[in-house]
């Protein structure tokens, strides 16, 4: 792929911060290509394009991660994180770069264009027609946990079946969060005649703690699924190397679920106690 030659994996491995720029650039390219080639329904196509563009880079990265895991005779979550630190950084910064790109376009484009280009993402917030009333209801923790746990499992399964398929779900979540944050900021700012960039900063920093924890749990799940998938292709079934990968993957998935529990707890607290964030949501729904 030409883009991979322009932005090689070696550059990201040297400084994972480049992955932030890569995520934003690839998201911009994917959104632009989807609008040009599929103007009638670009929302899901944009996510697919971005995932396809990112795929070669992450495929090489996961191959290196599987080789590390096959050599590891001892396992502990902290050791696993240290061994795969670069992979986690790249995944997370790619995610943030894509999220910021979707937020930028959601804020800067006219509302009609935003609602068309990101129709599926906007529907996650407004489509049910009851989000404004349901956000702070009882049973919020359980509701969020069940939803996020299903995403965690899907990230693992898709990465396991398709090797690097977890990138599609990560890209989808980045597109949803980015679009929702940008749209909340824009619509709330319109109703109060204030800057959408200020509103976006308030929203972003309100949700950042639980968002980054939740994203990290998905990254862990996708990495674990990708590593075991590569291991099944490369290692002999039930060989010592394969068994080590299998054991480490199972323990690390449990660790990812614990991280998700913390993220959901933080999110529940923020939704119930962050007055500014609640006000922005209410202003956004009122303007809608």
Confidence of residue 133 (pLDDT cuts 50, 70, 90): very low
What span, in angstroms and rounded, lies between the C-alpha atoms of 133 and 135? 6
Identify the pLDDT of residue 137: 47
The whole-number average pLDDT for the span 101-114 is: 91
Element (H, E) at 231: helix 196-234
Residue 245 Rama label (left phi>0; alpha psi -120 to 50; beta):
alpha
Task: Enter the tokens of residue 112.
Answer: 């009609």
The confidence score (pLDDT) of residue 83 equals 65
Mean pLDDT of 132-150: 69
Question: In terms of pLDDT, which residue wins out, 62 or 121?
Answer: 121
The tens digit of pLDDT for each residue in 243-260 reads 777 877 888 888 899 999
**What does the pLDDT read at residue 27?**
93
pLDDT bracket for residue 130 (50, 70, 90): very low
SS3 assignment, position 208: helix
What does pTM read for this prediction?
0.82
Token couple for 60: 């090489």
- Which has more pLDDT, 199 or 125? 199
The share of the chain scoring above pLDDT 90, in percent, equals 20
Tokens for 144? Answer: 């969020």
Q: What is the per-residue pLDDT for 276?
A: 80
Domain spans, the chain: 2-287
H or E segment and range at residue 105: helix 85-108
Band of residue 97 on the pLDDT scale cut at 50, 70, 90 = very high
Please check the confidence at residue 9 and state whether its pLDDT lies above 50. yes
pLDDT for 88 equals 75
pLDDT of residue 225: 83
Which of 72-81, 173-182, 195-204 shows the lowest mean pLDDT across its residues?
72-81
CA dist 55 to 42, 103, 162, 167, 242, Å? 20, 22, 11, 7, 24
> Rg of the chain over CA atoms, in angstroms?
19
Q: How much is the pLDDT for 230?
A: 73
pLDDT, one tens digit per residue, over 25-48 is 999 999 999 999 999 889 889 998
What confidence score (pLDDT) does residue 1 get? Answer: 55
CA-nearest of 171, 161, 163, 248 to 215 is: 171
Q: What is the pLDDT of residue 129?
A: 40
Residue 62 structure tokens = 């996961």
**Helix, strand, coil percent values for the chain (each to nearest 5):** 85, 0, 15
């Amino acid at each position: 792929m030409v883009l991979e030659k322009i932005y090689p994996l070696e550059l990201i491995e040297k400084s994972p911060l480049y992955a932030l720029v890569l995520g934003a650039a690839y998201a911009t390219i994917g959104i632009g290509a989807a609008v040009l080639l599929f103007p009638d329904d670009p929302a899901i196509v944009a996510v697919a394009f971005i995932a396809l563009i990112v795929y070669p880079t992450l495929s090489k990265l996961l191959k290196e991660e599987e080789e590390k895991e096959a050599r590891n005779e001892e396992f502990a979550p902290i050791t696993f994180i240290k061994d795969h630190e670069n992979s986690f950084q790249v995944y997370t910064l790619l995610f943030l770069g894509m999220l910021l790109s979707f937020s930028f376009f959601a804020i800067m484009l006219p509302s009609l264009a935003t609602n068309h280009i990101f129709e599926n993402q906007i529907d996650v917030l407004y489509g049910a027609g009851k989000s404004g009333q349901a956000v702070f209801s009882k049973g919020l923790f359980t509701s969020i946990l069940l939803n996020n746990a299903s995403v965690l499992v899907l990230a693992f399964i898709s990465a396991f079946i398709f090797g690097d398929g977890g990138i599609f779900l990560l890209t989808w979540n980045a597109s949803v969060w980015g679009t929702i944050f940008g749209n909340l900021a824009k619509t709330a700012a319109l109703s109060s005649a204030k800057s959408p960039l200020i509103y976006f900063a308030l929203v972003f920093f309100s949700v950042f703690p639980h968002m980054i924890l939740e994203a990290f749990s998905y990254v862990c799940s996708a990495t674990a699924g990708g590593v075991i998938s590569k291991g099944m292709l490369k290692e002999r079934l039930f060989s010592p190397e394969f068994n080590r990968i299998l054991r480490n993957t199972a323990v690390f998935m449990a660790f990812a679920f614990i991280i998700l529990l913390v993220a959901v707890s933080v999110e529940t607290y923020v939704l119930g106690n962050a007055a500014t964030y609640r006000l922005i949501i209410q202003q956004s729904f009122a303007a809608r």
